[in-house]
Amino acid sequence: MRYRAIQQHDRRYPIRLMCRVLAVSPAGYYAWRTRPESHRSVRNRALLSTIRVIHRASRETYGSPSIWDALLKQGHGVGKKRIARLMRAAGIRAKTLKKWRATTQSRHRMPVAANVLDRQFSITRPNRVWAGDIPYVWTAAGWLYLAVVLDLYSRAVMGWALEARLTGDRQMSAEERETLSLGLARGHSLRTMATVLRRAPSTVSREQVRNAVEGPDRACTAHTLASARARQPRRPRKLLDPWLWQYVRTHLTQGCSPEQTAGRLRRAHPDDMSKQLSAEMIYAGLYVLSRGTPAQRTAGHAASGA
């Protein structure tokens, strides 16, 4: 592997320097270049190609035992440990399902709405009964929760929202902030005001710390700051990877468009979905960048790219 790494970078760095860094001798490297490839190495490369095909056909759910069993059925005489070693060296692994975790929290002190509908779904007039559900759907940005409200009479969608997390509304309303400001001015503690507002103490404390200004707590100013922060879009999760974002910025600075950058990522890493991006995600990441010359320069290169 070290000799192969030297060969891949022999046009960028001196060979003797790379041999010294990787603790190999130059004579050994030159002997490796002139030596014909061993039969086992040729066999390993052919096996690895077959492993990738089987792994991709299984939607990346097969691990080494399943792939070994599939190879035996195809007539390949190979050991299980050899398959596991080849997959580990190539970074091929099965997708694992995360442990299911219940999101319903029944032990709480929040008020519970009465069952007024009582499964009476035969509605005779519009805008009398609305019902909602929160399924989760797979998108290009990952799993998202979709909250939908329907009119049971016409089945019309009255409203919907998408969020990455299944949480309640953390942002306080203007009325709640006014109540909080009056309570703090009268000397009440944050915990007391959280009980009055029927909010978690951590939520009230976080909102007060984030949106407070110097001097007494001001509800209008806090609500303005919180609303501005809520309107700010977020960078896609994949672009939080430093290596991936640096790769995107480098190619955009060189004059590549987001479409070309996304295509290069697919060609460079065809089997690694964690290192692939869509052009839409790159566009979204550009406009979430903080203001400044680097962001403007990067966005300018993206706009002028072909």
Looking at residue 297, its pLDDT comes to 42
Whether pLDDT at 246 is above 60: yes
Least trusted range by pLDDT, from 4-18, 61-75, 164-178, 188-202: 164-178
Looking at residue 303, its pLDDT comes to 47
Planar angle of CA 33, 35, 37, nearest 5 degrees: 95
pLDDT digits (tens, 9 = 90+) for 187-234: 788 888 888 888 878 777 777 766 555 555 555 555 555 555 555 555
Q: For residues 69 and 75, what is the distance between their CA atoms, to the nearest angstrom?
A: 10
> In the structure, what pLDDT confidence band is assigned to residue 65 with cuts at 50, 70 and 90?
very high
In percent, how much of the chain has pLDDT > 70?
A: 76
Instruction: Write the CB contacts of 141 (distance below 8 Å, at least 6 apart in sequence).
Output: 164, 236, 237, 281, 284
Instruction: Write the CB contacts of 35 (distance below 8 Å, at least 6 apart in sequence).
Output: none
For the chain, how far is it from start to end, CA to CA, in angstroms? 38
Please state the pTM of the whole predicted model: 0.33
Mean predicted confidence (pLDDT) in 15-41: 87
Q: Please give the C-alpha separations between residue 218 and each of 45, 71, 229, 272, 276, in angstroms, as whole numbers.
A: 68, 69, 17, 50, 46
Structure tokens at 29: 């490297």
Greater confidence, 26 or 227?
Answer: 26
DSSP E strand stretches across the chain: 130-133, 136-139, 142-151, 157-163
Instruction: From 48, 4, 53, select the one nearest 29 (Cα to Cα).
Output: 4
Task: Judge contact between 253 and 301, C-beta under 8 A.
Answer: yes
pLDDT digits (tens, 9 = 90+) for 84-95: 999 998 889 888
Q: In degrees rounded to 5, what are phi and psi of residue 194? A: -65, -35
Least trusted range by pLDDT, from 5-9, 50-54, 156-160, 279-283: 279-283
> In the structure, what pLDDT confidence band is assigned to residue 67 with cuts at 50, 70 and 90?
very high
Q: Over the chain, what is the mean pLDDT?
A: 77
In percent, how much of the chain has pLDDT > 90?
A: 12
Mean predicted confidence (pLDDT) in 128-156: 83
